Chain A
Amino acid sequence: MQSSQKYPVHDPHTAFQSPHDRYPPISDYALIGDCRTAALVSSRGSIDWLCLPHFSSPSIFAALLDNQRGGRFAIFPAAPFKVQRRYRKHTNVLETTFTTDQGVVRLTDSLSIPNEQAQNVLHPQREVLRIVECLQGKVDTQVIFEPRPDYGRTRPRLIQRGALGWACEMGSEVLILHSDFTLACSDEDTASGVTTLSAGERRYLSLTYARHDIGIITPLGRYADRRCDYTTQWWRNWCKHNTYQGPYHDAVERSALTLKMLTYGLSGALVAAPTTSLPSVIGGVRNWDYRFCWLRDAALTSSAFLELGFNSESDAFLAWLLHSTRLTWPRLQVLYDVYGEMHLSEEQLDHFQGYRESRPVRIGNKASGQRQLDVYGEVIAAAYDFVCHGGRLASDEKRLLRGFGKVVCSDWRLTDQGIWEDRDAGHHHTHSKLMCWVAMDRLIRMHKQQHIKVPVERFARERDLIRQSIESKGFSHTHGTYVNRYEGDSVDASLLLMCQYNYRQAHDPRLLATFERIERELGNNGFLYRFPEGFDDFLPPGEGAFVICSFWAVEYLARLGKRAQAIERFEHILSCANDVGLLAEEVDPKTGGARGNFPQAFSHVGLINAALTLNQVDTACSQTIQKAE
C-alpha cells in the first residue's frame, strides 16, 4: 500500500475551492452533538458549522454559509480519497473512513458528553473531540483550523501556548485546540499542517471552549479515548430506553438520536434544526433561522419521544415550557430560545455569501412575534400524551394548561399566521381552528380522567362551536373538500392532521375527498408540497416538497388501510435520507436532494410517527386475524 508519491499540501485558503467542496450538497453533512450544541461535519472531514456555547449562539465555524469568511475545522488526507461514513451503532459518534492509494485513515468525531461521575476531574464547557487513526499503510493527513467567531465578523488571533496548543481569544470566550498534530500558523488566524500517519498510529485533536470562565484543556491519548468511549456509552445507554420494536427500527432509532441531539439538555427545550439559512431553493430567499424552540415542533417531538419510551425528555419539555412561558402566560409565543428568551429579532448577515449564493443569510426569527393559534393545541396535546403515558402534572403545570384553555376560548375566533407562518396580516386557517378544537378536546379528556380540573361545560361548548365553524367555513361545498383558509379555495397538507388528531376518521368522505385533492394538487413523485405553487405567502415561489407532509400522507394511507401503498411511500421518502440517515426540511421531488435547514426535527418526528402508525396498523391487523382464528 505504501507509495513514494508525494501529494502537495493544500493551502488552507484554497483547499476547499473545487465546485463540490465549496458548498457540498446539504445531504453531504452528518451531525454530531452533546445536547448543548451541534456541529455539521462534511464527508470531507470538515466541520463547517458549529455555534458555541449553544445552538443559537454565534458561529465559530460557518463555511456552510460562506466558504471564504465562515471558517472551518478540517481533517482529511492530502491525497485523493474515497469516503465511507457511519455512526457508531446506537450513538451520535461519527466515523468517517478515508481510503487513499497509500492507506486508510478513520476519523472519529464527537462532541464529548462530560462524565459527571468522574470525581476530581474538571470538564470543559464544550469539547469537540476528533480522533484520527491510520488503519492501513501511510497517509499524509492534513489539518486546517480556521476559527471565525461571531459569524465571521471577528478575525481572531491564534496564539500558541506551548504544550497546551493553540488559543483563540474572543472577548470573554476562549477556544483552545490541543493536539498532537504538528500545526503552524500560516496567518495569524489559521493553523494548519500535514502529518504522515502510519498503520496503527492514533492522533488526537481536542477543541475546548470556555465562556466567562477559566479554560479547561483536556489530555490526549488514552484519556481522550476514554472520553470518546464514555460518550459512546452514554448514547448507548440512552438508546436502551427505546421501547419501539416495530418495522424500520434503525431509521426510527436514528431519528430519535437526532432529536435528542437537538434537545438542549440544560433546559429541556428542543430546537427545530441546528442551522440557519440553508435554502428551500438554491439561490432563493426562503432562508430562515431554525435554531430556536418552536413550541409546535417541540410539542410534537415530546409526543414522539413518549411513544418511543423516552419519558424524561417529555418531562423536561413540560418543565421548560412552564419556565419559559412564565412571562407571556397564559399566552404562548410561537418560538423561544433555549432559555425561554422571547425577544428574537431578525437580522441579515450581509457579509455572508450564503449557501450557494442563497441570500439573505438570516439570524433570529421574525415569526416570534406572530400569532399562531395552533400552538395551544399542540402543547395541550403533548401534555395529554404525557398523562396518557403515566406522567403526572404538577399543580403549576395544571394552572398553565388551564390558562391556555381559556386563551383558546377567547382567541379562536381571531385570524392568525398559521402553521406555515404567513408574513401578512393573517387569515382564518382551518388547521389553526382544528388545533383549537384539539386543545379543548384534550383538556376535557384530561378533566374526565381526573388529571386536571377545567370549566368543562364552557370548554365543551367552545369545542362544539369550533367544530361547527370548521364544518361550515373550512369546508368547500364547491370542491367537496376542506380548505386551508375559511371560505377559501385551496388545500394545504396540514389538513391531513384532522385524521391524526381524531377529528375525523380516515374513511370519512369529507376527509377522503380532501386527501385525494391534496394528492392531486400537492403531490409530486411520492412527496407532498405543503401548499400549492403560487400560494400567497408573499415570497417568491419555489420550494421543495415538505418531508413531514409527505410522512403525514403515509400515516393517512396506513389509517385508511392501504398498508402496501403506505409502506411504498414511506420507503420512498426514507430513500431521501442521507448516508447516515438524516433528513432535511424539504426535498427536491425530482432528485430527492435535501433542501432547507438540516437536519430538521420536524422531518424526523414525521418519520417516527409514520413508523409508529404503520406498526399500530400492523398490530391491529394481526390482532384482528388472531381473533378471527
Chain B
Amino acid sequence: MLTFQAFEQVESIILWGLTATVVMTTIMLGSQGLGFSRLSLPFLVGTFFTGNRRWANIVGVGVYLIGGWFFTFFYYLIFIGVGQPTVWLGTATGLLHGLFLLVVLLPLLPQFHPRMATEYDGPTEHQRLEPPGFLGLNFGFRTPLVTLLGHVVFGAILGAAL
C-alpha cells in the first residue's frame, strides 16, 4: 500500500529528491571549499569505483545524486509510516540519518571501503585514503556539524515538500 502511494508520488519524489540532494551536496561541498571540513562524501563514494581522482569526483557526484533519490523514497516511506510529512518530521529524520552516518557508517567505512586505509593495518598500495574516524572528526572538528546540517536540511526540504 505504502509502495503504491509512493509510486503515485513519483514525480514529486524525483523533483524534490533531486532538489534536496542538490542542496545537501552544495552545503557539504561548500563547507569543504570554505575550509570548514575536509569531508567530501561524493569523493568517498566515487573512490569505491575508481582510484582516479578526477573520475572519482565525477562518478561520486553522480552516484550521490542517485543515492539521494533512493533516500528520498526511503524518507517518504518513513513519513507515510509515521503520519503526515512535516518540516519537523523531515528535520528529525535528517538528524537521525546524519547521526547514523557519523556514529556508525563513517567509523565502519575503513572496514569495507576498497581504497581506505585503516589505523590497524596502515596504508597499502591501493588503500590510501585517510579514514574519517569517529564522527568524521579526522576531517576537521566542524565535520559533524556540517554533516548534520546537510542532512537536516535534506530532511526538512523533503518533509516540507512531499
Contacts and interface: CB of A to CB of B under 8 A. Distances in A.
Contacts of A425: none
Contact of B129 (A119, A162, A171, A214): A214
Contacts of A120: 50-52, 126
Interface in A153-173: 161-165, 167, 169, 171-172
B124 A163 contact: no
B125 A164 contact: no
A123 B130 contact: no
B38 A216 contact: no
Contacts of B133: 161
Contacts of A161: 119, 133, 138
Contact of B122 (A123, A172, A178): A178
A217 B117 CA distance: 8
A110 to B, nearest CB: 18
A210 interface: yes
Contact of B40 (A122, A214, A223): A214
Interface string B115-149: 10111111111101111010000111000000000
**Interface secondary structure of B, over-half rule:** loop
B51 A212 contact: no
Interface stretch (B4-12, B15-23, B29-37, B76-84): B29-37
A489 B101 CA distance: 76
Given A164-B119, A214-B129, A216-B129, A122 B51 contact: yes
Interface string A10-46: 0000000000000000000000000000000000000
A126 to B, nearest CB: 14
Contact of B38 (A165, A178, A214, A223): A214
**Interface secondary structure of A, over-half rule:** loop
Interface in A99-134: 119-124
Contact of A121 (B36, B37, B44, B128): B128
A524 B129 CA distance: 57
Contacts of A167: 138
B89 interface: no
B35 A122 contact: no
Nearest to B32: A212
B91 interface: no
Interface in A451-469: none
Contact of B117 (A164, A171, A212): A164
Interface residues of B, number: 35
A119 B32 contact: no
A123 B47 CA distance: 12
A123 B56 CA distance: 13
Interface string A354-371: 000000000000000000
Given A122-B129, A210-B130, A218-B123, A172 B117 contact: no
A119 B43 contact: no
Contact of B123 (A119, A178, A212, A213): A178
A216 B50 CA distance: 15
B153 interface: no
A163 B50 contact: no
A174 interface: yes
A172 B50 contact: no
Contacts of B53: 122-123
Contacts of A165: 122
Interface string A190-226: 0000000000000000000010111111110001000
B158 interface: no
B161 to A, nearest CB: 31
Contacts of B59: none
Nearest to B36: A172
A219 B33 contact: no
A176 interface: yes
Nearest to B50: A120
B125 A223 contact: yes
11 contacts: A121-B125, A122-B53, A162-B122, A164-B119, A172-B32, A212-B33, A212-B35, A215-B130, A217-B122, A219-B122, A219-B124
Interface of A: 119-124, 161-165, 167, 169, 171-172, 174, 176, 178, 210, 212-219, 223
Given A163-B122, A219-B123, 14 more contacts: A119-B52, A121-B51, A122-B51, A163-B118, A171-B140, A174-B130, A178-B122, A212-B32, A214-B139, A215-B130, A216-B130, A217-B128, A217-B129, A219-B122
